[in-house]
Amino acid sequence: MQFSAILTSFALLGALILPPNAWARATGPETSAADGIVLDMAQAFKQRDRKRLSAMLAQVRGHTLEPWAAYWDLAARLDEASTKEIQDFLTRYSGTYQEDRLRNEWLLQLGKNRDWTAFEREVRQYRMNDDRSVRCYTALADYKTNGSDISKLVADTWLSLRDADEGCAAAAEQLLDDKKLDRHVAWLRARLGMESDRLRVATQAVGMLDERWTKTVNTIYLNPGKYLSDKLTALRPQTREFVSLALIRQAYLDPAEAAVEVEKLRWKAQLTQEERNWIWGVIGKRAAQKLSPDAPGFFAKGQAAEMHEDHLVWQARAALRMGKWSQLQETIAAMPEALRADPTWVYWRARALLRQDPTDATRTQARHLLTGIAGVRGFYEQLALEELGQKVTVPARPEPLTAAEKDAARQNTGLTRALYAIRIGLRPEGVREWNYHTNLHQRGGLDDRGLLAAADLACQHEVWDRCINTSDRTKTAVDFEQRFPMPFKSAVLARTAQIGLDPAYVYGLIRQESRFIMDARSGVGASGLMQVMPATAKWTAKKIGLSGFQPRDINDRDTNIAIGTGYLKLVLDNFGGSLPMAAAAYNAGPGRPQLWRGQSGAPVLEAAIWAENIPFNETRDYVKKVLSNTTNYAALITGQPQSLKARLGSVGPCDANVPLLTEDLP
């Protein structure tokens, strides 16, 4: 495997990264000289310095993080390492995360080299089993050696990938060449690439059918309108498919314009019904993402049975926003079974049933649906609980952990190595190793009691993100004090009391923003517990009268809390006390929620409907999680039953008389 691809796998660990001075800070009093060498090796791995890695490896033999050092050394030169050297590593570090991680990289290399004999030998020992490219290579190896029918597995996996990859593309191309995979699958893949603005996905798929066609795909991507207006378009080969791609690209850029174009007689005559249905799905989706009232009408021009599931999700959201409960019910019914089972659509299906036909039979059916998801675990689970006439309360704590259960967690070398890595500044590596050793789907994974013990270990070390995420994965035993810890309680309570802010709301937001990681820093530069952007910090410091503020102060705990809560209070007041709108503003900036609420004459919506229609996936998920967190924290803090619905309220159009907070915000 190429070294850059190995580095990419580490870049996907999540949004939080170490700040620039973390390496220097990590070599402070709590770290040894050997720790410093390990940190130097981590840097050398990122810099592709193979010579430096090999020279330092001998100096960390016997160190707690030796498996990481050995992994970096070998992974950096995996393309030139001998099979014996690789096997020696796998044997020496058998049972570790690093063994499985290296085997993952080696399997990708073996698949790329089409060495199916070695691949099939090694894949049997692969425990992680979470790499889709490896999954596709495994299917391709089975096809090559046994002639197995892998077309459905490959098609499903390939179509589910967001980005272009090697393994699934190789399997798809082989099946296309052998006429074992319908060419329509490649066109579907190209459509998905075009509608998600991923040109490489579209060109890769079409290039498998004919490499010469990639030039046309590039032309369409750059200017779909010009391609469609060209009088020679109808005479070119593969007209239907390319016209579909052009209309999809045009819908991404301007759904209203695409809606006019697709109705033109020449395209109506050339496109199949399936192609027209898909295109209307894209037009409707993009219109819904722009919160256009025309979205339901666009969707209605196509047939749901031939739309992608993502189109159906946005059709349901648009129906919700426009109060079209009957259309909502029909759209949810058209969703694939797995999607219909998501708590989001279970909840809204129940609400649609009650809204459409409130008979005894319908109420019984709706109640059955709500009972199936009701609980305290998430946004829609909590809303379902309230629809059933109950409120959110703190569940009974599980039986206390025994000494033996705690000892088992402390003696787990993978967990202790992960905590060590996090302590000295190797957070991404530590998180990956921790997740590996607590993941239930792996052989030898932890049960609920084991997860609670691991979470307790992380809590004791104040590694709050691992404490929360590990406890969150228990199925039946729910420990709210682990899932919703309250570090820095005196500082948070004092500050929120001072400015009149609900501490549960602040804790709900911090839990989502940083998982209480003090030096958390996002990929866009937000810092600290409350993930404040530098420009926002400077602006807020001035607004709240924090004199002498310097940008470096933002990672100071109390300063970060003061500025984060100060900014949150400002946006909350600006949005009339609306918790969901303030949360959206905190995540996406105050200007966007102003647009999302609509202008004068827009309908007043349940905030749950408004939140579900937020166009940004990240912000939509963020708002729901912050409000759900807040409700659970309030139950913990007050000891009283809590209402998520009361916190949500409603969202209506902006008041022209209220000045916008965005006027002087950088």
Q: What is the CATH number of domain 489-663?
A: 1.10.530.10
Q: How far apart are CA 34 and CA 38, in angstroms?
A: 6
Q: How far apart are CA 580 and CA 627, in angstroms?
A: 7
Instruction: Extract the tokens encoding 221.
Output: 């991507």
The per-residue DSSP string of 299-354 comes to: HHTS-GGGS-HHHHHHHHHHHHHTT-HHHHHHHHHHS-HHHHTSHHHHHHHHHHHH
Q: Return the domain boundaries, the chain.
A: 403-483, 489-663
Instruction: Extract the tokens encoding 521.
Output: 């820093």
Residue 664 has pLDDT above 70, yes or no: no
Q: How far apart are CA 571 and CA 309, in angstroms?
A: 35
Predicted local distance difference test score (pLDDT) of residue 30: 62
Q: How far apart are CA 577 and CA 364, in angstroms?
A: 36
Higher pLDDT, 516 or 663: 516
Instruction: Count Cβ neighbours within 10 Å for each residue of 69-95 and write b for 16 or more, e otherwise.
Output: bbbbbbbbebeebeeeebeebbeebee
**Tens digits of per-residue pLDDT, 239-256?**
889 999 999 999 999 999
Q: Enumerate the H helices of 411-523 as residue ranges.
A: 413-424, 427-438, 448-460, 464-471, 480-483, 489-499, 503-513
Within a 13 Å sphere around the CA of 467, how many CA atoms are in the beta-carbon half?
A: 23
CB 565 within 8 A of CB 550: no
How far is C-alpha 295 from the geometric centre of its chain's CA atoms?
26
* Residue 304 φ/ψ, nearest 5 degrees: -60, -30
Tell me the average pLDDT across 325-336: 96
**Tens digits of per-residue pLDDT, 389-408?**
999 999 999 999 999 999 99
Instruction: Extract the tokens encoding 344.
Output: 């989001």
**Tens digits of per-residue pLDDT, 640-658?**
999 999 999 999 987 666 6
How far is C-alpha 64 from the geometric centre of its chain's CA atoms?
32
Active-site positions read: 513
Q: What is the DSSP letter of 606?
A: E
Beta bridge partners of 17: 521
* Residue 654 φ/ψ, nearest 5 degrees: -70, 150
Predicted local distance difference test score (pLDDT) of residue 600: 63
Q: What is the DSSP letter of 642?
A: B
Q: How far apart are CA 402 and CA 326, in angstroms?
A: 53
* pTM score, whole prediction: 0.92
**Tens digits of per-residue pLDDT, 36-78?**
999 999 999 999 999 999 999 999 999 999 999 999 999 999 9
CB 39 within 8 A of CB 27: yes
426: number of Cβ within 10 Å: 24
The three-class DSSP label of residue 651 is strand
